[in-house]
Amino acid sequence: MLITTHSSPTWYNYKDIARFFHTLINRFFHNYLVVWRRNSNFAGRMKKLRTIEMERLSVEEFKEAQKMPLVVVLDDVRSMHNVGSVFRTGDAFRIESVYLCGITSTPPSAEIHKTALGAEDSVNWKYFDTALEAVEALKADGFEVYSVEQAHGSTMLQDFSPVPDKKYAVVMGNEVKGVHQEVIDASDGCLEIPQFGTKHSMNVSVTAGIIIWHFAKKLII
């Protein structure tokens, strides 16, 4: 008796077939994605802007431009780098002015310039002997003044919504002692940034950036 055995042809291999189609599909979608990105200018949209593409104002144009109705008051801020950083953030969001009080340094200063990068020339500033004098002057000029401090009865920042037709001022305190109590007493209220770590303390310029951004997104964006 002749017995024959049948074996599958060498090409009839499920794993090879699956691998072939997997590679084919991957190549198809890869090529499709390349073409789509090229035609939709995807790479161009994600490319970093050059300085000349940022439409930055000159100092003269900044002076003439409409400002966000916000004044930042620095109450005995000792670090000139913090002062410069506040100027730079103030320039970015085109605030009305920075009030420098007490021991807070004033321009011109090489140390302020290191972080301000020229924003001390664009942003208006005034000097007062005390932050209390600055607050009194602001209130006499129709500003609502808020001290940025952790205090009893403070308003959490996320719960505070500035109104477009009002003028505001915020007081940032000393790096160690914070805002003077007499300044808090003269303010219309306190704004507090919620914190959830071990320190419950942030750098003055970081705090100023958060506060200014909160006003900007409510008033100008």
d(CA 21, CA 96): 64
Per-residue pLDDT band at 106 (split at 50, 70, 90): very high
Q: Is the pTM of this model over 0.85?
A: no
Q: What is the rounded average pLDDT of the residues 94-122?
A: 98
Q: In what order do the strands lie in the sheet with 167-172?
A: 125-128, 95-101, 68-75, 167-172, 143-148, 189-192, 155-156
Beta bridge partners of 144: 168
Mean pLDDT, the chain, rounded, equals 89
Q: Which residue would you say has higher pLDDT here, 6 or 179?
A: 179
Q: Which of 28, 103, 83 is nearest to 208 (CA)?
A: 83
Q: Are 83 and 74 in contact (CB under 8 A)?
A: yes
pLDDT higher than 70, residue 137: yes
pLDDT higher than 90, residue 44: no
Q: What is the rounded average pLDDT of the residues 207-213?
A: 98
